[in-house]
Amino acid sequence: MPQLKPTNSRIAPLFPISDWLKTYTREDLSNDLFAGIITAILLVPQGIAYAILAGLPPQLGLYASILPPVFYALFGTSRTLSVGPVSIAAIMIASSLTSPEVSALGHPIQSALMLSAESGIIMLIMALFRMGSLVNFISHPVLAGFTSGAALLIIGNQLPLLAGLNTPSCGINIGCYSHYFSGAITNTTLLSLAALSLLLFFGKPLTASLKILKVNRSLSTALSKCGPLLTVILATVVVSYFKLADQQVAVVGNVPSGFPDLNMSFVGDIFLGSGWVRAKLLLPDAAFIALIAYVESVAIAKVTANLRGEKIIPNQELIALGAANIVAAVSGGMPVAGGFSRTMVNFAAGARTQMAMLIAASILSLAVMFFSPWFTNIPKSALAAIILVSIIRLVKIKHIVHTWRFDRGDGIAELATLLAVLILGIEDGIVLGIILTIASHMHKTSQPHIAVVGRIPNTEHFRNIKRHQVETWRHLLLIRIDESITFANIDYIENYLGIELRRRPDTKHVVLIFNSVSDIDATALEALEQFNHGLQAQGKTLNIAEAKGPVMDKLEKTDFLQQLKPGKVFFRTEDAVNELGYMA
């Protein structure tokens, strides 16, 4: 009778936290404690800033930074990924909530919670159907173009806040802008310039200075990452002391103390009239948020995992991020994902496991419970400065040039995605990018690289006759096909073969070298059969060399190998040359 596996061994893969807890040491705790404190310093200003960027009350960003990281720690496979509000998701939320259909329903907080819930459910459904490999369908150039475009949208959204202005509606009316800029608030502008200066100083200048002073690396990391929190503290002190909130300087306003009641009222709302309409309207946006959140989170997680030789399991990440987003909805938070800047800070600060994020979430919980009144006078311009400094590095125009030089198809897809995000919007931009990537891939697949090859003298190596000095044979044509043969490219391959045969009328034997062919579909097989019959009618033979095992397995299930005779299948190209190259 077969033995059943212990229950805990079947459950363990679902809870990766059990792996590192077994071997957790006091040294790990020391590292995680330091990293958790440093990451918590970032969570407060970023949580508030990204909530405001999304057009939501600041507490939704804070709430999203507490329980979601805890649930990710339970289910996630990355030991350093910092889950919480992120800039790209925030601008996507803002785009969704400001659409005419959604904004007409009112209650933006309810819509945000619905987006969190739907995003999480979509990820769990993807995990159920093991769709973790979906990440491969968004190429890196498209993701880079999307990120750059979204970052430029965020910059355009935040720049007016530095001067206390609303988003301009002048369009191309140049005269309108002179009136628009005249509404800039001096105190807000000065506060923004001071905040930007301080944030920039805490970047490379401070790091370089600390390096010259030979300050301990961990302490240097801690000090350099205090910029956002120190900026918020100093800006808030200035606003409070000089009562700038009464002088048109926009502030965050009241932030409720403590936590909201955990509830799932959004589930019940789905079955009511307006709730069902809201759920249907938000579903496409939730799907895009889920897709981008997943792709970016896995990409970020792989960066730090590769540095430590750790493994990321994409399908488990779907479960972890899905659970994090659902608990964000239950706890009153906005949609979450892995944040690049927070993750890199967490990693650089020495985090060994997700205990660092559990510590960071605990610290933030204390801040929300006891220090919320201190958030009231945080100037929005300081938060805008924090967003701008953190987001500017995501705009990678040079990357487009680099991609274009390496692969023009990918370069076009990256540039088109960026422009489409700016002109058409976030959702249409990413869709266009994916379509262009698929189209580029299909184009490459439909026109595979094919080469007439010859033998390098005194070797058994066969190379392209256009690139190397090689031996060739008058009656023998060696052709290497560097792609699987399918319905998409068989016409191109047939045309190529026909052209080469017309160039070499004395050819008696054609050898197709299949060392790069991994598959042949039914359409391609039928075309090869017809090509073989055409050669036989001319008194010529078709031969195959170096076919892979899976390809031979498929061919042996048909009568193609019988039809090939007197043509043969050769194990090596050298064998084909030795037998056919010197036959008259």
**Residues belonging to the chain:** 584
Predicted confidence (pLDDT) at residue 554 exceeds the cutoff of 50: yes
What are the pLDDT digits (tens) for 324-381? 999 999 999 999 999 887 888 888 778 899 999 999 999 999 999 988 888 889 898 9
| In 253-345, beta strands by DSSP E | 337-338
Q: Are 434 and 295 in contact (CB under 8 A)?
A: no
Q: What is the β-pairing status of strands 337-338 and 83-84?
A: antiparallel
Residues 396, 398, 401, 406, CA torsion sign: negative
What are the pLDDT digits (tens) for 384-422? 888 888 888 888 888 899 999 998 888 888 899 999 988
Q: What is the β-pairing status of strands 509-513 and 476-481?
A: parallel
Predicted confidence (pLDDT) at residue 1 exceeds the cutoff of 60: no
How far is it, in rounded angstroms, from Cα 432 to Cα 417?
6
- Tracing tokens 């997680």 back to the chain, one arrives at 301
Q: DSSP letter for 569, please.
A: E
What percentage of the chain carries pLDDT values higher than 90?
Answer: 47
CB neighbour list of residue 508: distance below 8 Å, 6 or more residues apart: 475, 476, 539, 540, 541, 580, 583
pLDDT at 138: 75
Q: What band does 519 get if pLDDT is binned at 50, 70 and 90?
A: very high
Domain residue spans of the chain: 13-168+253-380, 396-446, 450-580
Q: How far is CA 520 from CA 112, 513, 514, in A?
A: 49, 13, 10
Q: What is the pTM of this model?
A: 0.78
How far is it, in rounded angstroms, from Cα 485 to Cα 528?
10
Q: What band does 12 get if pLDDT is binned at 50, 70 and 90?
A: low
Q: What band does 544 get if pLDDT is binned at 50, 70 and 90?
A: very high
pLDDT at 2: 46
How far is it, in rounded angstroms, from Cα 35 to Cα 41?
10
Higher pLDDT, 210 or 516: 516
Identity at 169, one-letter amino acid code: S
Class in CATH terms, 450-580: alpha beta
Highest mean pLDDT among 130-134, 198-202, 278-282, 487-491: 487-491
The SS3 of residue 440 is helix
How far is it, in rounded angstroms, from Cα 369 to Cα 373?
10
Tokens of 495: 């045309």
| In 429-505, beta strands by DSSP E | 450-455, 462-464, 476-481
For the chain, what is the mean pLDDT? 87
pLDDT at 214: 81
pLDDT at 8: 53
